Homo-oligomer: A and B are copies of this chain.
Amino acid sequence: MKTPAIVINFKAYPQVVGEKGLELAKLCDSVAKKNNVEIVVVPQMVDLGLIVKSVDIPVFSQHVDPVEPSGKTGHVTPESVKGVNASGTLINHSEKRMRIADIDSAVKKCREIGLETIVCSNNLDVSKACSLTNPDFVAVEPPELIGGDVSVTAANPEIVKTTVNEIKKINPNVKVLCGAGVKNGNDVKKALELGAEGVLLASGVVKAKNQKDVLEDLIKGI
């Protein structure tokens, strides 16, 4: 994915079940193309293959299991995600935390087969620790902000800036996304000013009464 990027996590919200998820992906695709900005969608697991076929923007998986293609019923291998031509995957989202050895092995396997990785983390120490597994991106997600009404840039702008600076010191190849507290174009703008190379958000778009309006406002921040 190109940066700056706006990454939309569909989670498992009722607003993206069935056709509604496909429609939201197409809306993101249309806004991205029309405005020439990078929007990435992260649909529900069972929709992944279908949505990749229906849009031109990058599509990421919400999770991969750190297992090899084999007799692993119900698991999502990186290879299966690559197999449907998705571009990358979230790893260690706050709602799907992973063991550190598994994060490390998943990131390495994804890199090997050509999937981009966004590792989510909950504070500065964990963000720094995760950056040492060499993902493409680390998304900082202070849990107290996830799904809430507070803007990360208003509430705690320093955490973004500090995370960017500290990670650059120990692993300059890793880019930082602002992973919580982003609601509007102004938040996006501030996140980028603070050194983030994009944002990861969910409810702000998915649960919006008018998803198109929110998307169009968000991209003004780029």
Number of contact residues on A: which range applies? 35 or more
B contact residues around A114 at 8 Å (CB): none
Q: Give the Cβ gap from A170 to chain B, nearest Cβ, in Å.
A: 6
B contact residues around A98 at 8 Å (CB): 99-100
With contacts A12-B69, A12-B71 taken as known, whether A101 is within 8 angstroms of B81 at the C-beta atoms is no
Residue of B whose beta carbon sits closest to that of A10: B73
Residue of B whose beta carbon sits closest to that of A202: B71
Q: Tell me if A7 counts as interface (CB < 8 A to partner B).
A: no
Contact assessment for B103 and A90 in the assembled complex, using a CB-CB cutoff below 8 Å? no
Q: Tell me if A122 counts as interface (CB < 8 A to partner B).
A: yes
Q: Give the Cβ gap from A193 to chain B, nearest Cβ, in Å.
A: 26
B contact residues around A170 at 8 Å (CB): 170
Contact assessment for B61 and A46 in the assembled complex, using a CB-CB cutoff below 8 Å? yes
Pairs of residues from A and B, 6 with the lowest C-beta to C-beta distance, nearest first:
A18-B83, A63-B74, A74-B96, A49-B50, A129-B129, A17-B83
